[in-house]
Amino acid sequence: MFQDDGFRALDRQECLRLLTKVPIGRVVYTRKALPAVLPVNFSLDADSSVVLFTSSGSDLVRAIDGVVVAFEVDDFRAETESGWSVVVTGRADIVTDPAEHERLSRTGPRSWMPVRDGVFVRIESEIVTGRELQGTREAR
């Protein structure tokens, strides 16, 4: 049900389903005590955690390993003024278990950028929230 403001809250299961619909999300984290946002490709693992693959020496890995971050995905249609947004909040950790790394090498995301000494980063889906915006215009 949509409220008067045109938004509908999405439950956890619907949010997780929507996470599988888009290839790019944004990691929201702190860099040098300031907010930072970085678009990345990702996958959703069987345990509902968000998984990234990046270079082990990247600034992103140094900034997020072991800390709580937010991860946001969305899909909006300007022509109908409608869409949705999902935010996953949880601790980010480098995957260090060799068996888990091997499994993710087969099933996890592939970086769209060249990666040296790649590592998988798992963001636990501790808090998952989402909203859908019902458009006010019809597509033309």
Q: How many domains is the chain partitioned into structurally?
A: 1
The pLDDT, as a whole number, for residue 138 is 58
The tens place of each residue's pLDDT in the chain, 140 residues long, gives: 445 567 899 999 999 999 999 999 999 999 989 999 999 999 999 999 999 999 988 899 999 999 999 999 999 998 888 999 999 999 999 999 999 999 999 998 988 877 888 999 999 999 999 999 987 665 54
The pLDDT, as a whole number, for residue 3 is 54
The pLDDT, as a whole number, for residue 116 is 81
Residue 139 class from Cβ within 10 Å (0-12 exposed, 13-18 middle, 19+ buried)?
A: exposed
Q: Looking at the domain assignment, is residue 61 inside a domain?
A: yes
For 49-87, the pLDDT digits (tens) are 999 999 988 899 999 999 999 999 999 998 888 999 999
The pLDDT, as a whole number, for residue 137 is 61
Q: Looking at the domain assignment, is residue 45 inside a domain?
A: yes
Q: Looking at the domain assignment, is residue 139 inside a domain?
A: no
Q: Looking at the domain assignment, is residue 2 inside a domain?
A: no
Range of the domain at 99: 7-133
83 backbone φψ class: left, alpha, beta (φ>0; ψ -120 to 50): left
Q: Looking at the domain assignment, is residue 15 inside a domain?
A: yes
CATH number, domain with residue 29 = 2.30.110.10
Task: Tell me the one-letter amino acid at 114.
Answer: P
- Angle (CA) 35-44-111 rounded to 5° is 70
